[in-house]
Amino acid sequence: MTSNLSARAAEALAAIESEGLLKREREIGSPQGARVTVVGADGRRREAINLCANNYLGLANHPEVVAAAKAALDEEGFGMASVRFICGAQTGHRALERRIADYLGKEDAILFAACFDANGGLFEALLGEGDAIVSDSLNHASIIDGVRLSKAKRHRFPNGDMDGLESALKAARADGAKTVLIATDGVFSMDGHFARLADVAALAERYGAATMVDDCHATGFIGPQGRGTPHRAGVAARVDVLTGTLGKALGGAMGGYVAASRPVIELLRQRARPYLFSNSLAPAIVAGSMKAIDLAEAGDDLRAKLFANAARFRAGLEAAGFRLLPGETPIVPVMLGEADKAQALARALDARGVFVAGFVFPVVPRGQARVRTQVTAAHSEADLDEAIAAFAAAGRETGAI
Ligand SMILES: *Cc1c(COP(=O)(O)O)cnc(C)c1O
């Protein structure tokens, strides 16, 4: 008997394609940057302005970051071939954990292979039966999966709805939950708006709940010295657990972390499954990320450029007649509605040398397809003006404006 696995996969793919939801990866033949070389399906290479990387501070190919990574490659080798607790903990790993903790104002930090793993491992390790997790409805997939893996009772509140949060906290308390943990993104990445952390912290205090913030789309460029949304909101001391990534503003390589009190971090070292059973970060990534944090912390000039760029780009698209979601972050979502419209605009921009991605279900809700753009500190004003002109032309061609 033959299995039908491939036939079923082919059927599912056909259904995804017929709905206009198939994601096609495009290849880049250059380092990440404000402009990249896109390699077409026909092998042709052409330059494009990149508006869809999480490279907020432009550090992904920064010479000092590359140099630090190269030096580590020579001095500490290519790979660790071990999880941390067996023989995968180099001096650099602990140094980076301490650096992250200091930067974010926490007692300690623990590295993971990705923030997806940090979020995936943290809830199960810290909470159990008899506890409750109260989660924002727009939280990242990794938080949703991590919460599912925990035995704690799950409560969900509508995005940013503080009455909804309060009701969930009341319900958790009425259930007799021993520990209640509120979990939220610091910046909601599909829409680019902030969590209401001052209100969240006040409610957490009122109901004796702990708070976890995933600051992947904030650390490095939001708040004083880029320390993130809790610092921006003035509630850093009241956020118990911070998670984040080394794969976005902080160099963009890979790796995630949790920063929290010493006992929380130590318990994660003992219990978090993606930490215990997955390989240690490569030395070059550790060293490059360390340099990226130095540059981010000292990078007021980069942040000023980033936010000036975001304002310029936003104003240009609005003047061209696009509907944007309002926001103060460098995430600028251009709303199109149906999936095919977002895909058509992305293709028309591609033809004009602007690299963007259409975001469609299931990454965003049905009917809210968009081209999510992200501005970086590496873009020049000329890059942005050229991109705005291309948007206007592509928007007219596809009927988006
Ligand atoms: C990108 C992202 C993650 C995943 O981070 P990785 O390090 O790439 O696994 C988790 N949470 C949020 C909010 C993110 O934006």
Q: State the Cα–Cα distance between residues 181 and 58, nearest whole angstrom.
A: 34
- 216 CA to centre of ligand 1 in angstroms: 6
- 293's tokens: 């944090």
Q: State the Cα–Cα distance between residues 310 and 362, nearest whole angstrom.
A: 26
Pocket test for ligand 1, best of 112, 115, 193, 331 (most atoms within 8 A of CB): 115
- 142's tokens: 């990794």
CATH-assigned architecture of domain 63-297: 3-Layer(aba) Sandwich (3.40)
Output the residue whose Cα is nearest ligand 1's atom 2.
216
- 86's tokens: 């067996």
Q: State the Cα–Cα distance between residues 56 and 304, nearest whole angstrom.
A: 12
- 45's tokens: 């290479």
Q: What is the pLDDT along the chain (401 residues), one digit of tens a residue?
A: 788 999 999 999 999 999 878 888 899 999 999 999 999 889 999 999 999 999 999 999 999 999 999 999 999 999 999 999 999 999 999 999 999 999 999 999 999 999 999 999 999 999 999 999 999 999 999 999 999 999 999 999 999 999 999 999 999 999 999 999 999 999 999 999 999 999 999 999 999 999 999 999 999 999 999 999 999 999 999 999 999 999 999 999 999 999 999 999 999 999 999 999 999 999 999 999 999 999 999 999 999 999 999 999 999 999 999 999 999 999 999 999 999 999 999 999 999 999 999 999 888 999 999 999 999 999 999 999 999 999 999 999 999 99
Closest-lying ligand 1 atom to the alpha carbon of residue 255: 7
What's domain 25-57+300-398's superfamily in CATH?
Answer: Aspartate Aminotransferase, domain 1 (3.90.1150.10)
Q: Which of 155, 193, 231, 248 is catalytic?
A: 248
Closest-lying ligand 1 atom to the alpha carbon of residue 142: 10
- 228 CA to centre of ligand 1 in angstroms: 14
pLDDT at 19: 86
- 245 CA to centre of ligand 1 in angstroms: 6
What φ, ψ does residue 110 adopt, rounded to 5°?
-135, 135
Closest-lying ligand 1 atom to the alpha carbon of residue 214: 13
Q: Which of 135, 150, 189, 289 is catalytic?
A: 189
Q: State the Cα–Cα distance between residues 389 and 220, nearest whole angstrom.
A: 30
- 117 CA to centre of ligand 1 in angstroms: 9
Active site residue 217: yes
Q: Which residues line ligand 1 (CB under 6 A)?
A: 114-116, 119, 140, 142, 185, 189, 214, 216-217, 245, 247, 256
Integer angstrom CA distances of residue 298 from 39, 103, 214, 227, 295: 35, 11, 22, 11, 5
Q: Which of 155, 217, 231, 291 is catalytic?
A: 217
Closest-lying ligand 1 atom to the alpha carbon of residue 112: 7
State the angle between helix axes of 162-174 and 197-206 in degrees (0 to 180), rounded to the nearest 10: 20
pLDDT at 1: 77
- 324's tokens: 């944007």
Q: Where are the domains of the chain?
A: 25-57+300-398, 63-297
Closest-lying ligand 1 atom to the alpha carbon of residue 217: 15
- 115 CA to centre of ligand 1 in angstroms: 5
3-state SS string for 190-244? CCCEECCHHHHHHHHHHCCCEEEEECCCCCCCCCHHHCCHHHHCCCHHHCCEEEE
Tell me the three state secondary structure of residue 257: strand
- 247 CA to centre of ligand 1 in angstroms: 8
Name the nearest CA neighbour of 297 among 104, 69, 60.
104
Share of the chain residues as helix, strand and coil, in percent rounded to the nearest 5: 45, 20, 35
Active site residue 189: yes
